[in-house]
Amino acid sequence: MKKLGKNSLSLIGLIDKRLINISDNSNGLPNGMGRMLEGLSRFQSTIPQQLPIKPESADWDIHLSPERLVKVFEFETFKSLSFFVFHLLDYQEENQHHASVTVDYRSVGIETYTHSIDSVTELDKKLAKFCDELYEDVTHIDKIKIDQE
């Protein structure tokens, strides 16, 4: 997988970066959020795991300003890329939630966030999960076709 931009952070990197000073509210997080993230960073939490960002797939990058999920999918054939894009556009129209989709030769870049609040919401996480599942289906079909040849 290709990664977009040098300003991307992993989820753990984002947590660690925001935990620099958790004893007061100078970290820019809402009251109590620092303690929640501190517990998660030690992999021990007594509260429900509800981070502000929790992508369904760990390999989505989190970019900031605005907060958004980003991933690039690579395809073996133009036909599989076309299938992926067609079904992604259909999903977006059906759910009335649209990501930025960039096609570059045999790769598709997806960038999603909820524009009205400049942040990642459940809609974006569902779209990310749909993309991962669709990509898995497309690459599986490609593999079956190659094995049959």
Q: Based on the structure, what is the number of domains in the chain?
A: 1
The 10s digit of each residue's pLDDT in 35-84 is: 544 544 444 444 455 545 444 445 899 999 999 999 999 999 999 999 99
Residue 48 lies in a domain: yes
Residue 6 lies in a domain: no
112: how many CB neighbours lie within 10 A of its CB? 26
**Quick check: 129 and 57 in contact, CB under 8 A?**
yes
Residue 143 lies in a domain: yes
Provide the residue range defining the domain that includes 54.
Answer: 11-148
Residue 115 lies in a domain: yes
CATH number for 67: 3.30.1360.20
Q: Which residues contact residue 20 at a Cβ distance below 8 angstroms, ignoring those fewer than 6 apart?
A: 27
The 10s digit of each residue's pLDDT in 108-141 is: 999 999 999 999 999 999 999 999 999 999 988 8
Residue 3 lies in a domain: no
* Rounded-to-integer distance, Cα 40 and Cα 21, Å: 15
- What the block records as the tokens of 133 is 């599942």
The 10s digit of each residue's pLDDT in 6-44 is: 444 444 444 444 444 334 444 455 555 555 445 444 444
* Full-model pTM: 0.59
Residue 54 lies in a domain: yes
